[in-house]
């Protein structure tokens, strides 16, 4: 009888200790799993963030190189861009661009056309605006105003007119006509693509998610407006619309009519 009671008395403390030991081991095991999961998630996040930091370029469905080099008396030639400028453009997510000088011998006019397209990270367009690029090359800002012009096909397009100059002894003046195309719609407001969504990379490669910018510059405003009038229909036909569709073959009269529900100024 005493032997049985002794075994019972000894048995209870051992069982309780084993339970505490197993409980402690379970807690540490669970804690270790949680730590491993957190560490793994952190590593995965950093890898993804590193990859997202340099998204793969997403060129437009139709290359901007298709913009005509000869149109309505204007003849264009590609302007060479310094390697440092090309590096800057890649850093600011330029997925496609053209830079040309057009000359109209008959009208004695010239103008530079710069069109840039950002889709891999649309907000990268903020690095290509006239107010950043021209002052960076020594031009002084002399005012900006809103305006509009009419294309050859009768489409009215809102734009900004920027004026810059270089002081003596190398005195020059330049007028820059510019506007953005956001997912197929003309806009002048950078706030429409500079927020969180605009800064996120276009991981899916959605052709309807992009920002393009058109800059037409010349020493004389009339020349800039004249070149914009003959080029813009082609540029807008090449860029995807809000559904990601491209209507480019040649500029057509019906393209001047805005889509249903769109503003006459878009």
Instruction: Give the largest Cα separation in the chain, rounded.
Output: 125
In a domain, 183, yes or no: yes
In a domain, 108, yes or no: yes
Task: Please indicate, yes or no, whether residues 151 and 235 belong to a single structural domain of this protein.
Answer: yes
Is residue 27 scored above 70 in pLDDT?
no
Task: Please indicate, yes or no, whether residues 100 and 144 belong to a single structural domain of this protein.
Answer: yes
In a domain, 44, yes or no: yes
Q: How far is the C-alpha of 71 from the C-alpha of 226, rounded, in Å?
A: 12
Q: What digits encode the pLDDT tens for the residues 54-109?
A: 668 888 999 999 999 999 999 999 998 766 666 656 655 678 999 999 999 999 99
Q: Please give the distance of CA 43 from its chain centroid, rounded to a whole number.
A: 28
Task: Please indicate, yes or no, whether residues 190 and 100 belong to a single structural domain of this protein.
Answer: yes
Query: What's the whole-number average pLDDT of the chain?
Result: 76
Q: How far is the C-alpha of 128 from the C-alpha of 94, rounded, in Å?
A: 9
Give pLDDT, residue 39.
35
Give pLDDT, residue 113.
97
Backbone region of residue 197 per phi and psi (left: phi > 0; alpha: psi in -120 to 50; beta: other values): alpha
Give pLDDT, residue 131.
84
112 within 8 A of 217, measured Cβ to Cβ: yes
In a domain, 58, yes or no: no
Q: Which domain holds residue 146?
A: 64-256
End position of a domain, from candidates 31, 53, 75: 53
Q: How far is the C-alpha of 5 from the C-alpha of 21, rounded, in Å?
A: 25
Is residue 237 scored above 80 in pLDDT?
yes
176 within 8 A of 130, measured Cβ to Cβ: yes
pTM: 0.70
Task: Please indicate, yes or no, whether residues 195 and 127 belong to a single structural domain of this protein.
Answer: yes
Task: Please indicate, yes or no, whether residues 82 and 16 belong to a single structural domain of this protein.
Answer: no
Closest-CA residue to 176 (of 106, 126, 223, 116): 223
Tokens linked to 51: 């990859």
Is residue 48 scored above 60 in pLDDT?
no
Average pLDDT over residues 26-49: 40
Number of domains the chain contains: 2
* Banded model confidence at residue 140, pLDDT cuts 50, 70, 90: very high
More reliable by pLDDT, 41 or 187: 187
Task: Please indicate, yes or no, whether residues 141 and 216 belong to a single structural domain of this protein.
Answer: yes
- Coil, strand or helix at 133: helix
Task: Please indicate, yes or no, whether residues 120 and 176 belong to a single structural domain of this protein.
Answer: yes
Among 27-36, 129-138, 172-181, the range scoring the smallest mean pLDDT is: 27-36
Q: What digits encode the pLDDT tens for the residues 168-198?
A: 888 999 999 999 999 999 999 887 776 555 4
Q: Which of 29-33, 87-91, 151-155 has the highest mean pLDDT?
A: 151-155
């Amino acid at each position: 009888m005493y032997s049985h009671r002794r075994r019972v008395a000894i048995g209870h403390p051992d069982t309780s200790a084993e339970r505490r030991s197993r409980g402690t081991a379970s807690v540490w095991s669970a804690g270790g799993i949680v730590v491993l999961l957190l560490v793994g998630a952190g590593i995965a996040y950093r890898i993804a963030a590193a990859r997202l930091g340099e998204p793969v370029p997403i060129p437009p469905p139709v290359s901007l190189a298709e913009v005509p080099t000869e149109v309505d008396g204007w003849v264009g030639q590609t302007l060479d861009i310094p390697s440092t400028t090309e590096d800057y453009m890649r850093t600011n997510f330029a997925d496609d661009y053209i830079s040309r000088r057009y000359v109209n011998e008959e009208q004695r006019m010239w103008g530079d056309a710069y069109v840039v397209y950002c889709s891999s990270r649309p907000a990268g367009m903020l690095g290509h605006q006239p107010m950043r690029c021209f002052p960076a090359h020594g031009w002084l800002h002399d005012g900006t105003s809103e305006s509009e012009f009419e294309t050859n096909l009768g489409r009215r397009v809102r734009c900004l007119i920027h004026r810059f100059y270089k002081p003596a002894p190398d005195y020059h003046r330049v007028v820059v006509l510019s506007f953005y195309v956001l997912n197929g719609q003309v806009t002048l407001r950078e706030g429409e693509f500079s927020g969180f969504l605009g800064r996120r990379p276009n991981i899916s490669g959605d052709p309807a998610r992009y920002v393009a910018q058109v800059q037409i510059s010349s020493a004389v405003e009339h020349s800039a407006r004249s070149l914009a009038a003959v080029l813009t229909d082609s540029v807008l036909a090449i860029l995807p619309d809000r559904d990601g569709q491209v209507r480019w073959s040649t500029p057509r009269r019906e393209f001047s009519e805005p889509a249903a529900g769109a503003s006459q100024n878009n």
